[in-house]
């Protein structure tokens, strides 16, 4: 997540089409991984659903809160 956010911010608006396509491809892959994580997470951590619902979903996938076990109150 951090690496992808750093790459995207480093390129900024000066990125070529192929660089932007690569970043978008990586963001799509990250989105799939986050979706899979959340599906598995609900099996083992059902209380997280309430926490996820209480937070607004950010537009940028690199800023999504994963609610790891150490982050759950």
DSSP characters for 17-45? HHHHHHHHHHHHHHHHHHHHHHHHHHHH-
User: Can you give the pLDDT at residue 38?
Assistant: 94
User: Can you give the pLDDT at residue 33?
Assistant: 95
Helix axes 17-44, 2-11, angle to 10 degrees: 160
Mean pLDDT per 10-residue section of the chain, whose length is 73 residues: 78 82 91 95 94 88 91 87
Q: How far from chain centre, in Å, is Cα 73?
A: 21
Instruction: Name the pTM for this structure.
Output: 0.77
Structural domain range at position 62: 2-71
User: Can you give the pLDDT at residue 9?
Assistant: 77
Question: What is the number of structural domains in the chain?
Answer: 1
User: Can you give the pLDDT at residue 68?
Assistant: 93
- How far apart are alpha carbons 27 and 48 in whole angstroms? 23
Could you tell me the CA-to-CA distances from 39 to 10, 11, 73 in Å, in that order? 32, 32, 20
């Amino acid at each position: 997540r951090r690496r992808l956010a750093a790459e995207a911010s480093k390129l900024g608006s000066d990125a070529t089409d192929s660089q932007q396509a690569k970043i978008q491809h990586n963001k799509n892959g990250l989105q799939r991984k986050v979706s899979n994580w959340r599906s598995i997470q609900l099996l083992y951590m059902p209380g997280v659903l309430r926490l996820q619902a209480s937070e607004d979903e950010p537009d940028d996938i690199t800023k999504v809160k994963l609610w790891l076990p150490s982050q759950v109150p």
